Amino acid sequence: MRIEAVRLPLITRTASLVMVLLASPVLASDNTEGLDDCLASARELHEGLPVRWEVENGSGHGFEIEVVAIDGRVWKSQCLPASGKASVVGRGIGIQDYATMSARAKVAEQDARNTVRTYFPGRFIEMVFDLTWRGGAIYTYTVITPDDRETSVEVDAASGRILRSRSKAID
């Protein structure tokens, strides 16, 4: 008995590969699970606006969070997602304009993150919230996509729209 290989069209093979990759436990898992609880806990320690978070080693086993307090001071915290409780590490460098930053952040960071996740699935590495030189505000996310590309995605903090994305292969 002879078994013949069936040649599938390229588009079918590509779609099948993408389905397998997305079903992979490493890529399908959300490495930001517990982040929202950690951000809330960090805001309880220092009332203010989270301006940066980073997933430790891209694993989701911990988060480093920076919050700009109402007085403009930057505070650094660490948090384990299992506990959801942030602990203060220390003061960050410099003073930032809390009033302007909070006024320009019309879209919640979690909503911006979900928009990025929709178009760029993968593992989140970092988020930075900053004001542009033109006075706007943006969330910048770093994501490792399933095809092992490091992608930087900028989201307008006023509208929630993706402004720009840049991608490069990981060496």
Taking the domains of the chain in order of start, what are their residue ranges? 30-169
Strands 149-156 and 162-169 turn out to be: antiparallel
Check: pTM over 0.75? Answer yes or no.
yes
Give the distance from CA 46 to its chain's centroid. Answer: 21
Report pLDDT for 22. Answer: 41
Provide the pLDDT for residue 23.
40
Q: Which residues pair with 152 in a beta bridge?
A: 142, 166
Percent of the chain with pLDDT over 90: 60
User: Quick one: tokens of 137?
Assistant: 């505000």
Instruction: Return the structure tokens found at 8.
Output: 């599938």
By C-alpha distance, which of 61, 77, 52, 54 is closest to 29?
A: 61
47 φ, ψ (degrees, to nearest 5): -55, 125
Q: Which CATH architecture has domain 30-169?
A: Roll (3.10)
Q: What is the pLDDT at residue 58?
A: 55
Q: CA nearest 77: which of 49, 116, 38?
A: 38
Which of 64, 66, 53, 61 has its CA nearest to residue 31?
61
**What is the per-residue pLDDT across 104-125, written as a single tens digit (0 to 9) for each?**
999 999 999 999 999 999 999 9
Q: Which pLDDT does position 60 carry in this prediction?
A: 57
Looking at residue 57, its pLDDT comes to: 65
pLDDT of residue 15: 40
What is the distance between the alpha carbons of residues 108 and 135, in angstroms, rounded to a whole number?
18
Q: Which residues of the chain have pLDDT under 50?
A: 1-8, 10-28
Question: Any long-range contacts for 14-23 (C-beta under 8 Å, 24+ apart)?
Answer: 18/146, 21/146, 21/147, 22/121, 22/146
Q: What is the pLDDT of residue 21?
A: 40
DSSP helix/strand/coil, 94: strand
